[in-house]
Structure 1
Amino acid sequence: MTPPGYMCEFILISNTKLRVTKVIIIYKARITADADSKTIIKTLNEHNHGVNQQKVESQQLRVRVRKASNITARPSKIIRTELQVIVEGILRTSLRIPATSIPSKQTSYYCMLFRLPRNDTFHLVGTKPIIDNKDITHHILLFGCNEQEGQIIPSEETYECGMLAHRQCVNIIGTWTVGSDGDCFHNSTGFKIGSSGFQTAALQIHWNNRNRIPNMTDSSGLELFYTPNLRQYEAGMFAVGQEYLNIPPRVPNISFRSSCSSACTEVMFPKGVFITRAVNHMHYKGIQQNIEIYRGNKKIRDITHEEEYTYDKPVFYQFDPPIKIRPGDEIRTTCTYSSLSSNETIFFGEGTSDEMCYGFITYYPAQNIALPYCTTWKTVEKCKRYMPQFGGIIDGCRWKDFLSGGNEYIGFMMIELAMHCDTTCSSNCTEKVRNLREHECLSGDLGDFMIFKLQRKYPSISLIKDCFRENKSDNHCKLASDFHWQELEPERKLELAEGSCTCGGDQTLHRLIKAILLERNIFIA
């Protein structure tokens, strides 16, 4: 385990003042730590950078990482952003957003697309944060973009993006969070960028404007350290964790668990991989988190074991030698929370007042994974939803087809609810709902997930969940208190209900469902 603040030597030297005042070292020079001053001068002059030999030698120029702590004079001058300083073959460049207005709302995600160096193949070996607005910036992620589906044009300004930076940019290759000084990757690995790697990246910044302060700006970003001297292995990163959280108020501790199952690791890591680094991620109600490896239902070891989790003091677990993950191993994640200070139920969400349960794991060799998330929603595995080896089928349910707008069963289901359910979960309604939930896509946790995905589009579908509960026949169906319904804008409620319906006002649930059916055009001719 490496404490917070651990930095690579090449990142340390990037902050160190050099003894040279006018020498510009650009990446084309390919100057190594072993080059003497004459070689350096010759190489620089070949690139039209006139250098006085006596000045260089008198300043005792040595581009050596091991002597970084002894270098004390003024920094070298970099005249253009495209020029990178070489130290032991390490190049650097900065990806930084222009000064951007921060919205006066609590949670905002803004992104920007950047072109990465692409005149050669490189390994990204470290990152360092460039934080402008320290009070608001919550975390930064850098995603490598897959351009097989089409070229991505770098953006000239930021755009509001949410947690998904870009649909073609899902591979995490750089991270920063509050309390971290930067990332240093294992010395035998790097993320491939350039001519045969990621050529474009999406930089995502999360602002936490808790007090909704107006008229603030931010121009944060990441400094990247990369090298043309490719390392032995290509690095990758994947996430584990639970994406369904429902934390009741005022409880001292409550835990949620997730499994990256043996079936998933079989297809994600068919030849096995090696873990070099891991970090836990929850928000401010998180108090403890563990990630464990199981083999044949027997615990092998911990990946992380954080008994006292503190969001602002992240712990980075470094492994040398790396941890072997075999195909068929299970990776279990447990997140524990305390809500004693909260008077409201806390759900999974993007804001820091919401909660998360993730573990980010760096490994090698990188695998060709469509979506590098081995997370779950309750017990529904994202791996089985997106890995092509599973054919888009979970427990007999073709989930994408079921969620598509033209699904006839959804139309049938909504008509059945309109005909048999009023504003209460009567015995007739409850029986009908139980019959509807016998569909392979509506049973168990998978059924709850489907309802969760559908109820923003069809708010009244929450009846399928509420009226399915045992012994609920005399209870109100709670459509009016459904938090997804309440989140809709008033105009949207009017549009759906064809009136001033507030679900319990002057419109019946029957009329509301009919309005939704009409608006969605899902009546079958």
Structure 2
Amino acid sequence: MRIGTLLKTLFCVGIATAYPNFKDILPNGNEVPHPCKANYVWHGVGHNNPLGGGSRNQFGLDFKTAGLSWTPELCRKDSDGDGRTNGEELGDPECVWKTGSFPSRLSDITHPGVCTLSDGSICDADKGGVDCQVEDGLKNCNVLKEPETLNTTIRFPETAVPAEETTYSCMIFNLPSDKDYHLMAYEPNIDNEMVMHHIIIYGCDPNEDPVPDEQLNTVTKCGMSAGSNCNQMIGLWGVGRPGYCIDGPMGFRIGQGGFKQAALEFHWNNPQLKSNLKDSSGVTLYYTPKLRANDAGIMSTGQMNLEIPPGQQSYTVVGKCHSECSRKLIQAPINIFWAKNHMHYLGHEMNIKVYRDGVYYTELTNEVIYNYDSPVEKTYSTAVQVLPGDEIVTTCKFKSLSRPKTTFFGDATSDEMCFGFLAFYPVANMPFSTCTAWKDIPICNLWIQKEHNDCKWVDFMFRNVNETKRVRDEVMANCKPFGNCLSECKATLQILFAEHPCMKGDVYELIKDQSLKLDNKEMQAFIVAVDSCKAEMAADVYLRNLTNDNTSGADRLGGISLLLVSLIMYMMIK
């Protein structure tokens, strides 16, 4: 009996792990969209189940007849009978694609196994077999059954969705604050499924000045952050999830002793660049005055420096929250009760592991088959304790067979991410909760550093912060982007480089890097203006050192190297 059970288990594992390989031997096999669910991918292209396995659709039957390979005969077939050949639907209309190459068309892909009419509707013959319903509502959430539980719904006013592939929009609002509450659950109210990609709820720092009333309930473009003081994640929703419910001895504190304001961040995905779309989605928050024993928080881990080469069967990226970083960030033991992996459509495997004193301790997540459309939220019946000094290692694996160019970190679904989200208690006076990596430097080190050096680099990237506006205005008034290094620009920068903590070393380089990756146009203009004089200022430093009789030979050699680099940069700017 045990051997039979083992064989059944191995057989099921074989099915579960084998079907993704079939996608690799079909043109655009990793990019076939669900015919009636926006932002969903049909992973098991030859199966009636979008996730693969089980009964085959007609394309799957034809694929099997073709020997589980892409042949000219299979390409020229119209398996679903909608008037388009399988090759036309999968981006290989000439039927010349070979495994390992790129199809002639990488966009406007349709499903070869589901009959779809020209208006996008499902043919009558397939309507009964294609599930177009998105799961809605929270089931078995005990807190919703408690008589003390209250709720409030926050929605965007009807807002035009920009004709851009990716838009981040935010709205700050007041939370109930007559007493202390614990936020225990939330569920989305999706108005426009065609564009909604994800929603994040951020708590606004109660120790900072509140956002003025006139700025509340107003939708603004925001990049990947709701605002300088609204950056502490207390909820997130993505495609494929009904919401989230906390059943346990913890909750996110709102009200008099907690968050009094929060922000909604919407990610709209509009790859067709349609100009007539609108959205008024929102969330319903469930909160209770029946306080739990602990306050909860969410921290993120991962890697932001992503450069995924094209055509890779598997490409691994690792982000480490080193022990020094976690010792600063986690000031007391925390108990992790929920964890979630997050990548985009190239992601195919991900795990988060904890090491203690250099030795493997435990695993927080492990998705051997990662599926962006069906996110797995790992919850623990017994919370996992993580200590200050533990190393948290996030490993993401990407499959880029469908991409002809390098894929970078970014907010669009065509970009990639490598994030883990860990919900925990108690908060224990933690600072901003992130331990992702930027290049080889854990961001939490830089965040702690900004606290010590009085540089709030996230604040610095947003114009609505007074100090940022002052520095930007000075630079833009005195410097000429892409032009000559003006004397007034040099004088302004000499003061800023000497006195302003956000203009120094690694912190400035981080701000520069993130401005490019987050496509922050205002910050990019500022950086170009600063760079108009950096090379010449480096040359000035060398010339001053050259006149110093005490300069050693080694210093002179280093100075010559710096001068050569500076002169090359200066000539390029000219």
Q: TM-score range by the shorter chain?
A: 0.5 to 0.7
| Structure 2 match to 1:458 | 528
AA in 2 matched with 1:332: V
Q: For the Cα contact (< 8 Å) 1:113–1:153, is it kept in 2?
A: no
Distance 1:92 1:222 in 2: 10
Q: Does 1:110 align with 2:180?
A: no
Distance 1:9 1:188 in 2: 19
Q: CA deviation at 1:152?
A: 1.3
| Structure 1 match to 2:326 | 265
| Structure 2 match to 1:180 | 241
Relative to the length of structure 2, the TM-score reads: 0.58
Q: For the Cα contact (< 8 Å) 1:143–1:203, is it kept in 2?
A: yes
Q: CA deviation at 1:148?
A: 2.3
| Structure 1 match to 2:160 | 101
AA in 1 matched with 2:152: T
| Structure 2 match to 1:371 | 432
| Structure 1 match to 2:258 | 197
1:159 to 207, 211, 220: 220
AA in 2 matched with 1:92: N
Q: CA deviation at 1:212?
A: 0.8
Give the aligned length: 365
AA in 1 matched with 2:573: I
Distance 2:263 2:292 in 1: 24
Q: CA deviation at 1:384?
A: 1.1
| Structure 1 match to 2:147 | 88
Q: Does 1:513 align with 2:542?
A: no
| Structure 1 match to 2:411 | 350
Distance 2:452 2:434 in 1: 17
Q: CA deviation at 1:133?
A: 0.6
Q: For the Cα contact (< 8 Å) 2:338–2:422, is it kept in 1?
A: yes
Q: Does 1:237 align with 2:307?
A: no
| Structure 1 match to 2:556 | none
Q: Does 1:127 align with 2:186?
A: yes
2:272 counterpart SS class? coil
Pairing 1:282-431 to 2, within 5 Å after superposition: 282-387=343-448, 391-392=452-453
Higher helix share: 2
Q: For the Cα contact (< 8 Å) 1:259–1:332, is it kept in 2?
A: yes
Q: Deviations over 1:36-73 (max 9, x none)?
A: xxxxxxxxxxxxxxxxxxxxxxxxxxxxx4xxxxxxxx
| Structure 2 match to 1:143 | 202
Which structure 1 segments of 5+ residues have no match? 15-64, 66-86, 419-440, 465-472, 478-507, 515-525
2:266 counterpart SS class? strand
Q: CA deviation at 1:381?
A: 1.4
| Structure 1 match to 2:289 | 228
Q: Deviations over 1:214-233 (max 9, x none)?
A: 11111111111110000011
Distance 2:266 2:450 in 1: 33
Identity over the aligned pairs, expressed in percent? 35
1:383 counterpart SS class? helix
Q: CA deviation at 1:510?
A: 4.9
Q: CA deviation at 1:452?
A: 3.5
1:391 counterpart SS class? helix
2:573 counterpart SS class? helix
Q: CA deviation at 1:147?
A: 3.6
* Change in 2 beyond 3 A, CA 1:311/1:9: closer
Distance 2:176 2:422 in 1: 25
Relative to the length of structure 1, the TM-score reads: 0.63
| Structure 2 match to 1:494 | none
AA in 2 matched with 1:513: I
Q: Deviations over 1:151-190 (max 9, x none)?
A: 2135233111111101100111111000011111242110
Distance 1:451 1:109 in 2: 20
* Change in 2 beyond 3 A, CA 1:377/1:388: closer
| Structure 1 match to 2:335 | 274
AA in 2 matched with 1:365: P
AA in 2 matched with 1:132: D
Which has the larger displacement, 270-279 or 141-150? 141-150
Q: CA deviation at 1:112?
A: 0.7
Which structure 2 segments of 5+ residues have no match? 1-133, 462-470, 487-503, 517-523, 536-560
Q: For the Cα contact (< 8 Å) 2:160–2:277, is it kept in 1?
A: yes
* Change in 2 beyond 3 A, CA 1:460/1:269: closer
* Change in 2 beyond 3 A, CA 1:318/1:205: same
Q: CA deviation at 1:13?
A: 9.2
Q: Deviations over 1:274-300 (max 9, x none)?
A: 000000001111111110000011111
Q: For the Cα contact (< 8 Å) 1:110–1:205, is it kept in 2?
A: yes
Distance 1:205 1:305 in 2: 28
Pairing 1:482-493 to 2, within 5 Å after superposition: none
Distance 1:138 1:303 in 2: 25
Q: CA deviation at 1:266?
A: 1.3
